[in-house]
Structure 1
Amino acid sequence: MSHDQTINILVLYHSRHGTTQQLARHIARGVASIAHCKANLRTVADIEASDYPVKDPIVTIQELKQCDGLALGSPVWFGNMSAAMKHFWDQTTSLWLTGDLIDKPACVFTSSSSPHGGQETTQQSMMLPLLHHGMMIMGIPYSEPNLHTSLQGGTPYGASSISKQGQQPLDKQVTELAFAQGQRLAKAALALSSL
């Protein structure tokens, strides 16, 4: 990698009440803490009426195609990714046909309003299109101490949070796990870019 090259990590999320967006921001901070890495925060268009104000640009297929790595987040919807996020991935067939995402690192994150809200199944549901696109999925290793002790979220599948609607701020251990996940993703994308 040349010294002037920037690694672009797409932090793509859907958020109805703001918790998943907060996780996205902490992941982006982790990405940006790694030299030569930049986080691009994007969201997907909501397909239902929502009172939550969108603060980040709506992602384009071109931005997904050009990213060097991806952090993908959605709130838990009945143990699955949100309909808005699924709708976006259903539009990515052109990238699948050309293999544009093959061998790019990716991770997932989520939030729910209860401890048994389906966080891990939601994270797994987000992994499925990434696997079909040939991406390399990474989670959070148990070398992260917060993964052993956090009661408000965090799984080996990726960052997560248990939060009531609009609860502020996120638990400190949760934000540290999200930050660490962003760092891990950026480091992987950086290493792969030099191969």
Structure 2
Amino acid sequence: MPEILILYYSRGGSVAQLARQIARGVEEVPGMQARLRSVPPVAPVTATAAAPVPEDGAPYVDRRDLEECVGLALGSPTRFGNMAAPLKHFIDGLGAEWASGTLVGKPAAVFTSTATMHGGQESTLLTMMLPLLHHGMVVLGIPFTEAALSSTRTGGTPYGASHVSGADNDPQPSDDEKTLARALGRRLADTARKLLA
């Protein structure tokens, strides 16, 4: 069954929660399946290594996941208006995949989480799109035909799914955030299915 790779880094759990909602949306499309993967943290001391398998959550990504997927959803918390270092570190190591065209023509989408409403969600989503464009992917957003995009008072943007965790760092998405994340997953899977036809 064709699979959409949902690849993310999550430190506080918010991005992981959005990833699960996107996966639900993907699997609402007949004949499509989600594959959840994460990236390991990076350390300032190069001798420090992460365990080869995470203690909980999605397994770490393997380059084979990129080859086998028919679409990609990329997620990260916001770090000063940009993606977090662990995800950027992984993407920076994809020179061979770029040269061989592993991701060319596959649909892609992005998602993020911030602590505050104006914490850089849209700039993070836009900067996450740049490497996907360099890889030749077909980048998708959320159209305003999704009613929750116009009514949300929490996260959700036309650039991708998002979550506002607030001062208490609540990882649970609001109803609108869940709705928009699932809509993004459905759109990604439906586009991939059409491109495969």
TM-score w.r.t. structure 2 length? 0.92
What are the within-5 Å matches in structure 2 for residues 56-75 of structure 1?
56-75=58-77
What are the within-5 Å matches in structure 2 for residues 174-193 of structure 1?
174-193=177-196
Instruction: Confirm or deny that 1:155 pairs with 2:157.
Output: yes
Contact 2:106 2:192 in 1 (8 A): yes
Partner of residue 39, structure 1: 34
Q: Partners in 1 of 2:79 and 2:99 — Cα distance?
A: 29
Give secondary structure in 1 for the equivalent of 2:132: helix
Aligned residues: 188
Contact 1:26 1:179 in 2 (8 A): yes
Q: Partners in 2 of 1:62 and 1:89 — Cα distance?
A: 14
TM superposition shift of 1:53: 5.7
Cα deviations by residue, 1:89-123 (Å, 9 ceiling, x for unpaired): 01111011111111000000000000110001100
Q: Partners in 1 of 2:91 and 2:56 — Cα distance?
A: 19
Q: Which amino acid aligns with 1:43?
A: S
Give secondary structure in 1 for the equivalent of 2:133: helix
Q: Partners in 2 of 1:187 and 1:95 — Cα distance?
A: 24
Give secondary structure in 2 for the equivalent of 1:109: strand
Contact 1:142 1:156 in 2 (8 A): yes
Contact 1:11 1:72 in 2 (8 A): yes
Which residue of 108, 113, 116 maps to 2:115? 113
Contact 1:44 1:58 in 2 (8 A): yes
Instruction: Confirm or deny that 1:135 pairs with 2:137.
Output: yes
Contact 2:161 2:184 in 1 (8 A): yes
Partner of residue 97, structure 1: 99
Give secondary structure in 2 for the equivalent of 1:160: strand
Cα deviations by residue, 1:134-184 (Å, 9 ceiling, x for unpaired): 000000000000000101100000000111354153100100000010000
Give secondary structure in 2 for the equivalent of 1:170: coil
Unaligned runs of 5+ in 2: none
TM-score w.r.t. structure 1 length? 0.93
Q: Partners in 2 of 1:170 and 1:128 — Cα distance?
A: 26
Unaligned runs of 5+ in 1: 1-5
TM superposition shift of 1:7: 1.5
% identity of equivalent residues: 47
Contact 2:115 2:169 in 1 (8 A): no
Q: Which amino acid aligns with 1:17?
A: G
Q: Partners in 2 of 1:65 and 1:78 — Cα distance?
A: 31
Q: Which amino acid aligns with 2:100?
A: T
Give secondary structure in 2 for the equivalent of 1:41: strand
Off by >2 Å, runs of 4+ in structure 1? none
Instruction: Confirm or deny that 1:79 pairs with 2:81.
Output: yes
Q: Partners in 1 of 2:82 and 2:152 — Cα distance?
A: 23
